[in-house]
Every structure is written in structure tokens, then in C-alpha cells.
Copies of this chain bind each other. A is one copy, B any other.
Amino acid sequence: MAGRQDMVIWMRPEQAAVGRPAERSRAEITAAAVALADREGLAAVSMRRVAAELGTGAASLYRYVATRDDLLDLMTDSTAAGYDLPEPTGDWLADLVEVGRQARRIMRRHPWLPALVTARPVLGPNGVDVLEHVLGVLAAQPAGAAAKLEAFALMNAFTAVFVQHELGGGEPATRHHAAYLRQVAAAGGHPRLAAALTEAAAPADGPADHDEADRYEAALARVLAGLLTPPR
């Protein structure tokens, strides 16, 4: 008979009904992994490191999780518990932007999240609640179900890309990348790029978080309006 390993982790029972009871829980392991990722980045989340964080052996984790990817899925969904989902107000666009605002807040609190959700978009119990809320907000909208699901996926991806740009500003890789772009611009073959780079580097006033948030919400509103408003 086929094993139970080949399904999403939330379809497998957490504890066996009989036998020696487990000393830890999925939630406990997930919390340790999230704390570790917050502190040292996603690359530090190895089975051995997480186990050490819990004071156990690496092999023990496989009693709770079939694979490392399962653990990453648990981490992703656990962050979705941080949403506060109020009743729809009737203004679907404003309600969606509010969801986006919270997504941005959560992703900024967990800098590893954008990379994870783009690499493995996954819906666990908490993520499903968010999706249900979004579908409720869009209930009166004339778009099809497929379009609404797509809009939800795109909203997450858009937020992830945006936050990655925000947080990556000081990252070395981005700096080196910028150095290459400046070299290309200086070479002369790409005048539009050269102009764009000097113009984009112009606003020397400190980019407060307030401005970034406004830019994010404005862009998200435009994208969502473009996606979900019926063509005239």
C-alpha cells in the first residue's frame, strides 16, 4: 500500500494514537526554526542546527517532519497566523490593500519569508484562512474564481518582490550588481539605463519607512485594480 509520506504535511496526523508519546510538537519545532531563521537567515536552518536549538539529535526531527521541505512549509504557514482579518468593509480594494499591508509587515518581520514564499508557495491551515478572507472580500466582484485565485497568488508574489527590493538595499549582492550596472551605463551603449540610474539615485532625502509603505500600497492598489476591475 502507498505510504503517507507523499502528501502535504498537514494531511498527516501529528501524533500516533498509541505508543510512547512524543516529547515535542510540530509547533515547537516550527517555532525554533522560525526563531533561528530570524536570527541567522534561512541558510542556517539545517536539520542539525534546528535540532541543536532544541537540544535533541538531528534524526529526531524526522519523527515530526518527513523532509526539510516540510519544515519550510510549516515555517511559511506559521507566519500566516500573524494576520488580523477584520470583517469586509464593502470596499474590496481597500480591504485587499489592508491584507497586503499586513503581508508586508509580516515579511519585514521575517526577512527570509519573501524568498521562501516565491520558491515554495504553499497554503497550510493559516494560509487557507487568509485565502478564505480574500475570497470573501471579493465575493461581489464579477471576476471568475480562477482570476481571483490568481490575484491572490500574484498579490503574495508582488509583496515578496517588493519587500525583497526594500530589504536587499544594503545587501552586498545588490551593491555589486549596482556596480556592474554603473559600469554598463558608463560604457555608453545604454543611454536610457544610464539616465534611469542617475535619476533613480537622485532622491538623496532619507527614504523613511513611511514613504516605502505608501509606495507599496499605491502600487498594489493599481495592480489589483488593473487585475480585478472589469474592462470597460
Contact = CB atoms under 8 A, between A and B. Distances in A.
Contacts of A10: 180
Contacts of A122: 177
Interface in A141-163: 144-150, 153-154, 157-158, 161-162
A179 B128 contact: no
Given A150-B219, A180-B8, A196 B145 contact: yes
**Which DSSP category, helix, strand, loop or mixed, fits chain A's interface?**
helix
A14 interface: no
Contacts of A165: 150, 153
A3 to B, nearest CB: 13
Contact of A172 (B6, B144, B154): B6
A176 B7 contact: yes
A132 B196 CA distance: 10
Contact of A135 (B129, B181, B192, B226): B192
13 contacts: A8-B177, A11-B179, A115-B119, A129-B190, A135-B192, A135-B196, A144-B199, A145-B199, A146-B199, A147-B219, A150-B162, A150-B219, A219-B227
